[in-house]
Amino acid sequence: MSSSLRNFVDTFRNNEAFLILCVQVFVLHIGQSLIVPILPLYAQSFSVSVTLVGFLLTMQALPRVFANLPAGQLADRWGAHRMLAIAAGTVTFSAIAGALSPNYVIFLLTRLVQGIGTAISQTAGLTYAANVSRPESRGRHISLFQGSFLLGNSIGPTIGGTVAQYFGYRAPFWVYGALSLLVGIWMMTRLPDPRIAGQVDTHHKARPNFWMSMRNMLGHSGVLWVCIIGLVVAYTRSGSRDLALVLLGKNIGASESQIGLALSIIFIMNVIVLYSAGTLADRYGSKAVIVPSLLLTGVGLWLLAIAPQYTFFLLAASVYGLAAGISSPVPAAYVVEVVNDASQGQALGLFRTFNDIGLVFGPALMGWIGDRAGMTTGVLINAGLVMLVAAVFFFFAPGKADKVSMASAKARI
């Protein structure tokens, strides 16, 4: 067995709580992605316009912007394991209500509830992974956590489409609800308090006041800039990958299946390099990995923008997928490196908030630029922005030794 594979196995073998977390996250994200291929079709069954269908997708993401910070703060105070169980209960309710929705308005409300549940799940899950890992292996733990839900997301759509084909559009919501309920019960009965499982005693530490903590975090150049990196990476994912890539593929004559292959290559490259990204971050520090991965992301975007034919387009997609797979988990590891243990959840909630802002505005802004200057220009601007942020982060963000000072924030909330 190679050393990298041995380290991969040992990460789970030596940390039962983390193994349980990854299995549960994997199953829960199978459920979440079950409804992806039929969500627009189910919405249209209520006889609404395409505009309202698009509004439904936007409103599903919007609550996450406002739910991440409270979720992180409560994960610090109550424990991430309890917040994960609450998230499972929330999405169970939203799935069942979605299956029973009599009209579009009710269905829209269920998607808002699901957005809140997924925000809690993402932030609490990252916090749990950070709590049960040691500093020397934190990058690998966060990478494996993200890899677990990526695998779940890749399996769910196929199952959901098949279930809908034979049992109707409401059936995937019932399956989603059942999976979420089972995961929630398992979390309540099997998932330990991560602060105990990770030997991180935050029960008796003075927990900083929320606003004092926020001021200190945003005043720390590393936290601020890595949050901006999270926003730019999310903007790139939703604007360039999910929107511009499809239209650029059409511009060079690629078919729908060929564009789908390019997207699949990106996702495959993401999964392949996730664990290696965490290993590199643990060995050399997150900052040393973030900067070159962002520069490579910019190169991948530039190649996508100028691709003259399909083979070149696939090569560009591979470069972007490799870079995105490295840059996706490591910024979250950097956040944990530079904040104290008692504020990890709040810091990750702040990071996730910036991330979700990028997801919400990415397609609209990229579409606006594309209408006025063309998609090639939009992706080139995106490439330049990514490289600019990488350069600023390199010069102004400190390494992990310079933690956010919470010494002045002694008041509990």
Is 190 in the same domain as 240?
A: no
pLDDT at residue 393 in the model:
92
Rounded to whole angstroms, how far apart are CA atoms 128 and 145? 10
pLDDT at residue 196 in the model:
61
Is 183 in the same domain as 257?
A: no
pLDDT at residue 361 in the model:
83
- Which of 176, 204, 232 is the last residue before a domain boundary? 204
Is 130 in the same domain as 231?
A: no
CB 117 within 8 A of CB 91: yes
Is 137 in the same domain as 216?
A: no
- Which of 180, 204, 228 is the last residue before a domain boundary? 204
pLDDT at 402 over 80: no
pLDDT at 279 over 90: no
What is the tens place of the pLDDT at every residue in 328-348?
A: 778 888 887 777 666 677 788
Rounded to whole angstroms, how far apart are CA atoms 58 and 176? 21
Q: What is the DSSP string of 147-164?
A: HHHHHHHHHHHHHHHHHH
Q: What is the DSSP string of 123-144?
A: HHHHHHHHHTS-GGGHHHHHHH
CATH code, domain with 195: 1.20.1250.20
Question: What are the angstrom distances between the C-alpha of 84 and each of 25, 128, 346?
Answer: 10, 9, 15
Residues 6+ apart with CB under 8 A from 322: 269, 273, 296, 300
> What percentage of the chain exceeds 70 in pLDDT?
84
pLDDT at 174 over 90: yes
CB 220 within 8 A of CB 154: no
What is the tens place of the pLDDT at every residue in 3-61?
A: 544 554 555 555 677 888 888 888 888 887 788 777 777 888 888 876 677 677 667 77
CB 79 within 8 A of CB 193: yes
Is 258 in the same domain as 299?
A: yes
Rounded to whole angstroms, how far apart are CA atoms 338 and 340? 7
Which alpha helices (DSSP H) does 201-254 contain, by range?
210-219, 221-235, 245-251
Closest alpha carbon to 304 in 257, 377, 245: 245
Domain count along the chain: 2
Is 345 in the same domain as 216?
A: yes
pLDDT at residue 221 in the model:
63
Among the ranges 16-20, 44-48, 169-173, 301-305, which has the highest mean pLDDT value? 301-305
Residues 6+ apart with CB under 8 A from 274: 143, 144, 146, 147, 150, 325, 328, 329
3-state secondary structure of 381: helix
Is 218 in the same domain as 138?
A: no
pLDDT at residue 406 in the model:
41
pLDDT at residue 377 in the model:
94
Is 216 in the same domain as 154?
A: no
pLDDT at 285 over 50: yes
Angle, CA of 238, 330 and 111, to the nearest 5°: 40
Is 128 in the same domain as 277?
A: no
CB 124 within 8 A of CB 68: no
Per the model's pLDDT, the better-predicted residue between 77 and 37 turns out to be 77
pLDDT at residue 413 in the model:
33
pLDDT at residue 5 in the model:
47
pTM, rounded to two decimals = 0.74
Is 275 in the same domain as 334?
A: yes
Is 12 in the same domain as 160?
A: yes
Rounded to whole angstroms, how far apart are CA atoms 254 and 313? 9
Q: Residue 339 is which amino acid?
A: V
Is 173 in the same domain as 227?
A: no
Can you give the residue range of the structural domain that contains 357? Answer: 206-404+409-413
What is the tens place of the pLDDT at every residue in 195-222?
A: 665 444 444 445 555 556 666 666 666 7
**Phi, psi for 170 (deg, rounded to 5):** -80, -20
- Which of 172, 204, 236 is the last residue before a domain boundary? 204
